[in-house]
Amino acid sequence: MTTTKLDSSTSIWEHFFSVYPLVLIGSRDPGGSYDLAPKHMAMPVSWNNHFGFVCAPHHRTYQNIRDRHEFTVSYPRPSQIVLTSLAADPRTEDDTKPALKVLPTFKAESIDGVFIKDAYLFLECRLEKIVDNIGGNNLIIGEVVAAQVDDEFIRIVERDDQELIHASPLLAYLYPGRFAKIEQSFSFPFPKGFSR
């Protein structure tokens, strides 16, 4: 095996592919309209019900959550990649995102937010903390106060996990600039006696 040394004085992440989830973060603007923004640096941040994602402080998503202390998370299906991309539409001179008007949404139940319709997992989060200035970005962490999952995606004892993933594929973002549809998986070979 040969390796290439990367210059760590600049961002290394564009030199290879990495696997991330792709989610839509929902928040509410000061004027009262709802915003959805795709994020890939996003994941659970504890074994308890905490979810976090990275966001730049100049993004409206960060500002909305900092001010309103709540956000939603929609996990889109692979068939929703175009809708997810539309949520990244740049803002116009009047500070709106016209593409958001065509996205089908529904309201959250516990917080003031929206989800994208037909996603498979929906999280309602209250802001717990923001870790500022991580290389010019911020880590936003929320406590999940409500969650729903599409019945087709829920794990049950009577159903093999691989069968579930094959029938209900997952969307993955391959940074930089690609996506994948995960339809096949394998049991992880944990050592005997392993526990978290």
Give 114-146 pLDDT, tens digit per residue: 999 999 999 999 999 999 999 999 999 999 999
On whether residue 134 sits in a domain, the answer given is yes
* Mean per-residue pLDDT, 85-92: 87
Domain that holds residue 139: 19-182
pTM for the predicted model, two decimal places: 0.94
Q: Which two three-digit tokens encode residue 128?
A: 């717990």
Residue closest to 25 by CA, chosen among 146, 136, 131, 140 = 140
Identify the burial level of 143 via C-beta atoms within 10 angstroms of its C-beta, where 0-12 means exposed, 13-18 middle and 19 or more buried.
middle
Q: How many domains does the chain have?
A: 1
Q: Give the domain CATH number at 146.
A: 2.30.110.10
Q: Supply the DSSP symbol for 90.
A: P
On whether residue 122 sits in a domain, the answer given is yes
* Mean per-residue pLDDT, 96-100: 81
The confidence band for 196, taking pLDDT boundaries of 50, 70 and 90, is confident
**pLDDT tens digits along 8-55:** 999 999 999 999 999 999 999 998 999 999 999 999 999 999 999 999
On whether residue 195 sits in a domain, the answer given is no
On whether residue 193 sits in a domain, the answer given is no
3-state SS class at 193:
coil
* Mean per-residue pLDDT, 66-91: 94
177: pLDDT strictly greater than 90:
yes
On whether residue 2 sits in a domain, the answer given is no
Confidence (pLDDT) at 23: 98
On whether residue 53 sits in a domain, the answer given is yes
On whether residue 135 sits in a domain, the answer given is yes
Q: Supply the DSSP symbol for 100.
A: G
The residue type found at 133 is N
On whether residue 192 sits in a domain, the answer given is no
Q: Are 36 and 102 in contact (CB under 8 A)?
A: no
95: pLDDT strictly greater than 80:
no
The confidence band for 96, taking pLDDT boundaries of 50, 70 and 90, is confident
Instruction: Express as a percent the part of the chain with pLDDT over 90.
Output: 85
